């Protein structure tokens, strides 16, 4: 089952002083290994400002398939841009379907 088009909530656990949850829509589900999410508003990182974040499972042998059963997945997230290979690793958190 493709997760494309689903709304997600990203609960940020690191950095610890992060102020709010992130929300967005899954733009692409890359084989269960990566999610590309278009956020509802841009995030300012150290190197990039973008409304696109690439999420990858934080732990080995974890995929995003459990999201379809409404479980959360612990992730690392990096801001990315559409037309470049640049990225800015910014968060650790958990993602759930909203």
Q: Give residue-wise pLDDT tens across range 55-67.
A: 999 999 898 988 9
- Predicted local distance difference test score (pLDDT) of residue 1: 65
Here the tokens at position 84 are: 């470049």
Alpha-carbon distance of 9 to 25, in angstroms, equals 9
Percent of the chain with pLDDT over 90: 73
Q: Is residue 50 helix, strand or coil?
A: strand
Q: Judge whether residue 37 has pLDDT over 90.
A: yes
Q: Judge whether residue 86 has pLDDT over 70.
A: yes
How many residues does the structure list for the chain?
Answer: 98
């Amino acid at each position: 089952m493709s997760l494309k088009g689903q709304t997600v909530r990203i609960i940020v656990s690191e950095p610890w002083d992060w102020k709010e949850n992130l929300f967005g829509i899954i733009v692409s589900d890359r084989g269960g290994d990566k999610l590309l999410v278009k956020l509802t508003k841009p995030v300012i990182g150290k190197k990039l400002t973008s409304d696109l974040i690439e999420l990858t499972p934080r732990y080995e042998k974890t995929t995003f398939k459990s999201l379809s059963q409404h479980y959360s997945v612990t992730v690392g997230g990096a801001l990315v841009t559409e037309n470049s290979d640049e990225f800015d690793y910014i968060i650790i958190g958990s993602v759930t379907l909203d």
